[in-house]
Amino acid sequence: MNPKKVFIRGIGSYLPERVLTNRDLEAMVDTSDEWIVSRTGIRERRIAADDEFTSDMATQSARRALEDAKMSPQEIDCILLCSVTFDMAFPATACIVQKNLGISSCPCMDIEAGCSALVYSMEVAAGLLQLGHYKNILVVASDKLTSITDWQDRSTCVLFGDGSSAMVLSTEASRAQAELVDTLLRAEGKDGEILMQPGGGSRHPASVETVQNRLHYLKMNGREVFKGAVRGTGAVLKDILARNRLESAALQHIIPHQANQRIIDAVAETFAIPLDKFVVILHRTGNMSAGSAGIAFDEAYREGRFAENDLIAFATFGAGMTYATALLRWLA
Ligand code: UT7
């Protein structure tokens, strides 16, 4: 028996209001607008308010995706939320979003796969839908990365921002915008130490020492992440194209993780894909971890960039290290 087809029925995203520019950062650490733009492409990023949490941004993007799907929250029968900055260790932030949406009883769970988590969650949602237990799954990616950003570390603090994206995945084709054609996930745990937030878990529970040693902030070996990103993203993209007997020229749009323009340039060069096929928003958002790719996807959708039958590929990498790609065919 062929597995049921899975569709995207609603898409939404949310960016907080406050803008932090490279010039603002120049006043905070020893950096320059010129360095940040030339090394990353980032010019500004959005910062959540002090009392605005991952679940609040997630709720906003979820509401927009539901509105886009013309669905009420009651029609959602499962919530998956991905992040690296959950509201707290437990309960799951997905449960908080369920409460915010005014619904109850549907299963809710959090998924952690670094910046690849949206695509990971799309595959998990597709599998759950194909089991036949659910009809409409809300997948939300939300990160308040600035809550774990070390504002004294110029090598990381210039890179990140906050934001959220959401989509409704469904076995119902009516009013769907896109069909989920395929997903491919990968992880390399041996590379985990190049990108992590060491403090706060069972290995380094919060203590005076973990705070003094700044272990509750994001730590990164940027050069190694950069190399892994180009290699790993390229590999999953190549493999999903081969598995679907497609050439890269068949892709009309690539939705990359929004981390660094130079990473996107390198992937484009590897595949000889014209840069204008890549949806890039990082110059005005920075890297918003799991939320990034979905926000780029939503903005391109709302700008009318996708046409019927267009093939769209997500291509992401993140802490883990994780790598993930999804192929979509645009329907509407
Ligand atoms: O979601 C995944 C998250 N992470 C990523 O995607 C990050 C991937 N990596 C990168 O994007 C790049 O490696 C960075 C943008 C983080 C760094 O760029 P780079 O070209 O790899 O620079 P680098 O780390 O090799 O540093 C070059 C120089 C160093 O100075 P010296 O040792 O050559 O004197 C750094 O100290 O740039 C210096 N530097 C800075 N200078 C001004 C590092 N950060 C800054 C800064 N402003 N913000």
**Residue 222: what pLDDT?**
96
Residues 145-176 pLDDT 10s: 999 999 999 999 999 999 999 999 999 998 89
Task: Express as a percent the part of the chain with pLDDT over 70.
Answer: 99
Is residue 127 over pLDDT 70?
Answer: yes
Question: pTM score, two decimals?
Answer: 0.96
Give the mean pLDDT of 112-124.
98
Rounded to the nearest angstrom, the distance between the alpha carbon of 149 and the centre of ligand 1 is 15
Rounded to the nearest angstrom, the distance between the alpha carbon of 222 and the centre of ligand 1 is 6
CATH class as words, domain 180-330: alpha beta
Give the mean pLDDT of 99-106.
98
Beta carbon of 158 within 6 Å of any ligand 1 atom: yes
| pLDDT band of 205, cuts 50, 70, 90 | very high
Hey, whose CA ends up nearest to atom 39 of ligand 1? Answer: 155
Give the mean pLDDT of 52-75.
98
What does pLDDT average to over the chain?
Answer: 96
Is residue 87 over pLDDT 90?
Answer: yes
Beta carbon of 155 within 6 Å of any ligand 1 atom: yes
Instruction: Please report, for residues 59, 213, 249, the alpha-carbon distance to residue 62 in angstroms, rounded to integers and kept in the order given.
Output: 5, 36, 33
213 is catalytic: no
Is residue 241 over pLDDT 80?
Answer: yes
Give the mean pLDDT of 227-232.
95
**Catalytic residue (one of 106, 115, 136, 157):** 115
Topology match between the domains 6-176 and 180-330:
yes
What's the order of all strands across the beta sheet hosting 311-318? 108-111, 78-82, 136-144, 162-170, 6-14, 178-187, 322-330, 311-318, 253-256
Beta carbon of 190 within 6 Å of any ligand 1 atom: no
Written as one letter, the residue type at 177 is Q
Hey, whose CA ends up nearest to atom 20 of ligand 1? Answer: 39
Higher pLDDT, 270 or 186: 186
With vertex at residue 301, the alpha carbon angle to CA 108 and CA 238, rounded to the nearest 5 degrees, is: 80
Residues 191-202 pLDDT 10s: 999 999 999 999
Cβ–Cβ < 8 Å for 330, 309: yes
Q: What is the 3-state secondary structure (H, E, C) of the chain?
A: CCCCCEEEEEEEEECCCEEEEHHHHHCCCCCCHHHHHHHHCCCEEEECCCCCCHHHHHHHHHHHHHHHCCCCHHHCCEEEEECCCCCCCCCCHHHHHHHHCCCCCCCEEEECECECHHHHHHHHHHHHHHHCCCCEEEEEEEEEHHHCCCCCCHHHHCCECEEEEEEEEECCCCCCCEEEEEEEEEECHHHHHHEECCCCCCCCCCCHHHHHCCCCCCEECHHHHHHHHHHHHHHHHHHHHHHCCCCHHHCCEEEECCCCHHHHHHHHHHHCCCHHHECCCHHHHCECCCHHHHHHHHHHHHCCCCCCCCEEEEEEEECCCEEEEEEEEECC
115 is catalytic: yes
Beta carbon of 318 within 6 Å of any ligand 1 atom: yes
Beta carbon of 61 within 6 Å of any ligand 1 atom: no
Q: Where exactly are the structural domains of the chain? A: 6-176, 180-330
**Catalytic residue (one of 82, 95, 257, 260):** 257
| pLDDT band of 1, cuts 50, 70, 90 | low
Is residue 237 over pLDDT 80?
Answer: yes
Tell which atom from ligand 1 comes closest to the C-alpha of 287: 1
Is residue 283 over pLDDT 80?
Answer: yes
CATH class as words, domain 6-176: alpha beta
CB atoms within 10 A of CB 99: 13
Beta carbon of 226 within 6 Å of any ligand 1 atom: yes
Is residue 301 over pLDDT 80?
Answer: yes
Hey, whose CA ends up nearest to atom 12 of ligand 1? Answer: 222
